[in-house]
Amino acid sequence: MASPCCLHLPAAEPQAGRIARQMESEVRRIEQKYSRYQPDSALSQINQRAGQSTTIDNETAYLINYARVCYEQSDGLFDISSGVLRHGWDFRHAQIPSASQRHALQQRIGLSRLQLHGQQLTMPADMELDLGGIGKEYAADAAAAIARQAGIHSGIIDLGGDLHILGPQTGNDGEQQPWMLGVRHPRQPEQAIARLPVYQGGMATSGDYERFFEHQGRRYCHLLNPHTGWPVSYWASATVLAPSCLLAGTLSAIAMLREAQAENWLRQQQVHALLIAPDLTITPLTPD
């Protein structure tokens, strides 16, 4: 997953080691299947067959359908075909694409151009899909399902900061207590800027500090708006709590992409969230 991953399970659970290995195996399976870095992954094979019809399995169809719903609900901002913009933006070498480069890459974006009927997928020859925006979150939920099936209902799955909380912890008095989970400080990522009490569900943060560079006093982050081809800049980070990690992750990413409209949009979603501005002003949101 290209990030630190941890499984926090109850030490008193006699089968914790065996179950943890099953969970890890499931996470690795999903990574291998949907990584764009693996030339033999299912995702890479789909991209290699762009321009022709291909049959996909039920799991892949589910993820692409989920991504299409996110695309529609975000007015096209959350788009798993927008990864092609990385061919112009190089955050390792601080490379900004020219206007002509951005325009050419933007012509290749647009999930509405993809057709999926059951398990039959057809996409334009110039399109690439990238499931990096939902892969870790989906894997965290899949690992959580294995734990629950084994009867474990307390603990945390942490895949690079994308969390699935299995259930509350038990205090010394025997009472159930929430986990106090830290929200990363967007300018000092090794520290927490806030802590949130969470009993169960998903928690995810999207921020401008994961991959970025600064040029002439401006920060350019890896979260790219497919409508403009430029990085977002309105929020430093958006943290969302939701019933699943997959939903929390997509809501936090869409919030970053919606920029000035994020606060009102998140209120409409009726979720707990924490928005942090570049000046470190914190805006907490709670359901009505």
Residue 197 has what pLDDT? 97
For the ranges 134-148, 165-179, 268-282, which has the lowest average pLDDT?
165-179
Architecture, CATH, for domain 42-122: Orthogonal Bundle (1.10)
pLDDT tens-digit readout, 226-244: 999 999 999 999 999 999 9
pLDDT bin (cut points 50, 70, 90) of residue 174 is confident
Taking residues 244-255, report their average pLDDT.
98
Q: What residue spans define the domains of the chain? A: 42-122, 178-285
pLDDT at 1 over 80: no
Q: Name the packing angle between helices 245-258 and 58-73 (round to 10°).
A: 30
107-132 residue pLDDT tens: 999 999 999 999 999 999 999 999 99
**pTM value?**
0.95
User: Structurally, what CATH architecture does the domain formed by 178-285 represent?
Assistant: Roll (3.10)
pLDDT of 210 reads 87
Q: What is the mean pLDDT of the chain?
A: 96
DSSP 108: T
* Same fold flag, 42-122 and 178-285: no
From the CB of residue 26, how many other CB atoms can be counted at a distance below 10 Å? Answer: 16
Task: Assess whether pLDDT exceeds 90 at residue 187.
Answer: yes
The predicted structure's pLDDT at residue 12? 78
As a whole number of angstroms, the distance between CA 78 and CA 256 comes to 10
pLDDT number for residue 14: 82
pLDDT at 103 over 90: yes
d(CA 188, CA 201): 26
- For 257-270, write each residue's pLDDT tens digit: 999 999 999 999 99
Is the separation of the CB atoms in 240 and 215 below 8 Å? no
